[in-house]
Structure 1
Amino acid sequence: MNAFFNAPEPSSERYDYLIVGAGFAGSVLAERLASQHGARVLLIDRRSHVGGNAYDEPNEAGILYHKYGPHIFHTNSEQVVDYLSQFTEWRPYEHRVLACVRGQQVPIPINRTTLNMLFDANLRTEEEAAEYLAQRAEPVEEIRTSEDVVINAVGTELYRLFFRGYTRKQWGLDPSELDKQVTSRIPTRTNADDRYFSDTFQAMPLHGYTAMFEKMLDHPLIEVRTGVDFAELKNRAHEIADHIIYTGPIDEYFDFRFGKLPYRSLKFDHQTLDQEWFQPVAVVNYPSEDVPFTRISEYKHLTGQEAPVTTITYEYPSAEGDPYYPIPRPENQELFKRYEALADETGGVSFVGRLATYRYYNMDQIVGQALATFRRMDEKLASGRSEAVSVAAE
């Protein structure tokens, strides 16, 4: 049985792999290397728990809440679902989000219902909604920024109602200063589909993310040590293990040699209220710049728990704190490329995951990236074995 420790020092034994970071990327690779290769793995994390930002725990009222804001699992990848299903059962859940706009709570992404509620448009078909949006759209000749994406699709009024204020709060920048990828992720619908995602698989781990991680890491060849900062081990990391898998911030690994990569962070205000429900859906967005937070989340919608009280979280974007979102601007990507070149030249270290590749990934994408990394390692190992057999045969 694997044990989870809060201790400053690993044992004096040598490991095959030292994995830095016990989020999705690090945990998936630890499980694969131990279970498929019989590798001895030391997995460390500076936080006091596994699971990274997906960590959840019951609070004093017994409500399972997400310490780092709501994490909703959705994917189109059967491979990712099949892999994670080894470690959890699932609770079917389709995420819905409302936006508080002009005194109403309306569906987001914008759909036909949104338009009818806000503008009393009486749109009855997809064709009518498409024509209505086309009339509002303001074609942009060259789409370069997040502002361009939205105005080109739905026009200035809807852009200002739903996107400008939210984006300014979330990123600390105007949408005209951000890469087009930020708002390209958000669809606009002409039907009445009010689901936030349209993926084929949408569900929550039945007993929570932390329980899933703990089962994933419950292997005799995996040693997990939390509360351990890689900086304390870095100088002797290759004495501890043959190979390092690093999932932390890539600029931090190289001691910020070229300067810090910019991130946006978040601050959370978790509250338990003496009432059964607070809002009609799991998440309500507040796009207005007059409101300091971006959204309120209510976890019982996600977990299906029944209780006379409820737990909610106010989410405040911040320039300081743990790195959450790489800021998508060309100059930041150029800086990352300099660090990436250093990483490519660094032997004995694999850089995997959101922070190590300076990209925002959904959870399923990180799992997919980790599984792909393992496949490449597996192929390399198999190739080495076949070469050894060939030499022995000679």
Structure 2
Amino acid sequence: MTERGGFDYLIVGAGFAGSVLAERLANELNLRVLIVDRRPHIGGNAYDRYDDAGILVHPYGPHIFHTNSAEVYNYLSRFTQWRPYQHRVLASVDGQLLPIPINLDTVNRLYGLSLTSFQLEEFFASVAEPIEHPRTSEDVVVGRVGRDLYNKFFRGYTRKQWGLDPSELDASVTARVPTRTNRDDRYFSDTYQAMPLHGYTRMFERMLDHPNIKVMLNTDYREIQDLVPWRYMIYTGPVDAFFDYRHGHLPYRSLEFVHETHPVEQFQPVGTVNYPNDYAYTRISEFKHITGQQHPHTSVVYEYPREGGDPYYPIPRPENAELYRLYARDAEALENVTFVGRLATYRYYNMDQVVAQALTTFRKLRERHTEATPLSPVGD
């Protein structure tokens, strides 16, 4: 434990990574934690709130929880009840709204066919352009479903989302998107698919509700790191910013969110509709599908990818991975700072993956506290 008035941990960022670690350190090890965030709220990008119409919305775009990890699901279940929810997405292609990921209905409706699942496998085999060692996102999709489906569903969406052609992006970008030969129209196939019953923010509030945890919002950690005594830091922000961009800026893709409320009960048939080929936005999401809320009006969000702004998506290209490795070496050399989360480790993680990473990190940190470490008055 620290001296009276000091903190064992200064945690930078109150999103999933920071909040999970704060909760574990306080509850399991009885350590004192100060969690700092530059935004005026906890929860990071998963933060939700009620808008002026009284509809629960996600200001930073839809956050759909899904995981195959019983450990992650059971851990979060300590802080929330769940509403079962299976997300469905349609893509606006050739004047139709078609299921995505591509499945049997997608192909049959698009081309006016009546294939069976077995015949769809043969269809994919006939149009695919197999590439022995796929390197790019284009290689992955064209090698799986052929060039026409690639052009209709993937190429335009990817170019808008990343500002790059799929031929310029790592294969991992589109490798995440499955292709199905049955009629399963769920966007995810994970074992656990549910939404926090009362919202993400309520879940985070319960997670951080501990007398050993203090929360400071609207604050850049640099403003207080030399004023408040602490022993260790957990950093969840952009790793290049931590090191003052000494090796250069790591490229990120950002998003602009435009929220609208409409005087109708339902705006679109599913939670999200993708627009791969039309308009400047990539998708429209309607929150009432996702939350199950009953309301005479409905709120939606349009997503416009941007080059500048808050960092959301690390851009997966080999040269960016090489630049990150320079920062990773710097990070490993620091004995009293641990880097956790999407921005701090420059990886595109889903929410459950961040929680899993945080729980794994906690187990490693627990070993640290077998020996006492003197408190530094300025965090050195």
| TM-score interval, normalised by the smaller of the two chains | over 0.9
1:298 aligns with 2:290: no
Partner of 1:100: 92
1:200 aligns with 2:191: yes
Once residues 105 and 271 of structure 2 are traced to their aligned partners in structure 1, the CA distance between those partners, rounded to angstroms, is: 19
Partner of 1:343: 331
Listed as ranges, the gaps of 5+ residues in structure 1 are 1-11, 386-394
Once residues 219 and 133 of structure 2 are traced to their aligned partners in structure 1, the CA distance between those partners, rounded to angstroms, is: 48
Q: State the Cα distance separating 1:121 from its structure 2 match.
A: 1.5
Q: State the Cα distance separating 1:233 from its structure 2 match.
A: 2.7
1:171 aligns with 2:159: no
Q: State the Cα distance separating 1:139 from its structure 2 match.
A: 1.4
Q: 2:65 aligns with which of 65, 73, 81?
A: 73
Cα deviation, 1:38-71, whole Å, max 9, x if unaligned, reads 0010000000000000000000111000000000
**TM-score, structure 1 normalization:** 0.92
1:266 aligns with 2:255: yes
Partner of 1:325: 313
* SS of equivalent residue, structure 1 residue 155: helix
Partner of 1:255: 244
Cα deviation, 1:219-259, whole Å, max 9, x if unaligned, reads 0000001100122234x17x521100100000000000011
Cα deviation, 1:107-126, whole Å, max 9, x if unaligned, reads 000000000100112012x2
Q: 2:30 aligns with which of 15, 19, 38?
A: 38
Partner of 1:7: none
Once residues 55 and 36 of structure 2 are traced to their aligned partners in structure 1, the CA distance between those partners, rounded to angstroms, is: 28
Once residues 96 and 254 of structure 2 are traced to their aligned partners in structure 1, the CA distance between those partners, rounded to angstroms, is: 28
Once residues 305 and 330 of structure 1 are traced to their aligned partners in structure 2, the CA distance between those partners, rounded to angstroms, is: 43
* SS of equivalent residue, structure 2 residue 304: strand
Q: State the Cα distance separating 1:203 from its structure 2 match.
A: 0.1
Q: State the Cα distance separating 1:379 from its structure 2 match.
A: 2.9
Once residues 76 and 201 of structure 1 are traced to their aligned partners in structure 2, the CA distance between those partners, rounded to angstroms, is: 6
Q: Give 1:182's aligned amino acid.
A: V
Q: 2:300 aligns with which of 303, 312, 320?
A: 312
What is the 5 A alignment of 1:124-163? 124=116, 126-163=117-154
Q: 1:284 aligns with which of 263, 270, 273?
A: 273
Q: State the Cα distance separating 1:128 from its structure 2 match.
A: 1.2
Once residues 180 and 324 of structure 2 are traced to their aligned partners in structure 1, the CA distance between those partners, rounded to angstroms, is: 35
Partner of 2:182: 191
1:122 aligns with 2:111: no
Once residues 291 and 175 of structure 2 are traced to their aligned partners in structure 1, the CA distance between those partners, rounded to angstroms, is: 29
Q: 1:223 aligns with which of 214, 219, 225?
A: 214
1:246 aligns with 2:238: no
* SS of equivalent residue, structure 2 residue 369: helix
Once residues 99 and 168 of structure 1 are traced to their aligned partners in structure 2, the CA distance between those partners, rounded to angstroms, is: 15
Cα deviation, 1:15-46, whole Å, max 9, x if unaligned, reads 11000000000000000000010001000000
Partner of 2:377: none
Once residues 141 and 242 of structure 1 are traced to their aligned partners in structure 2, the CA distance between those partners, rounded to angstroms, is: 51
Moved over 4 A (4+): none
**TM-score, structure 2 normalization:** 0.95
Root-mean-square deviation (CA, aligned residues, Å) is 1.1
Once residues 317 and 224 of structure 2 are traced to their aligned partners in structure 1, the CA distance between those partners, rounded to angstroms, is: 33
Once residues 211 and 90 of structure 2 are traced to their aligned partners in structure 1, the CA distance between those partners, rounded to angstroms, is: 45
Partner of 2:378: none
Q: State the Cα distance separating 1:160 from its structure 2 match.
A: 0.2
Once residues 329 and 133 of structure 2 are traced to their aligned partners in structure 1, the CA distance between those partners, rounded to angstroms, is: 31
1:87 aligns with 2:75: no
* SS of equivalent residue, structure 2 residue 343: coil
Cα deviation, 1:86-139, whole Å, max 9, x if unaligned, reads 000000000000000000000000000000100112012x21111111111111
Say which is worse superposed, 135-144 or 35-44, in terms of deviation.
135-144
Aligned residue pairs, count:
369
* SS of equivalent residue, structure 1 residue 284: strand
Q: Give 1:75's aligned amino acid.
A: T
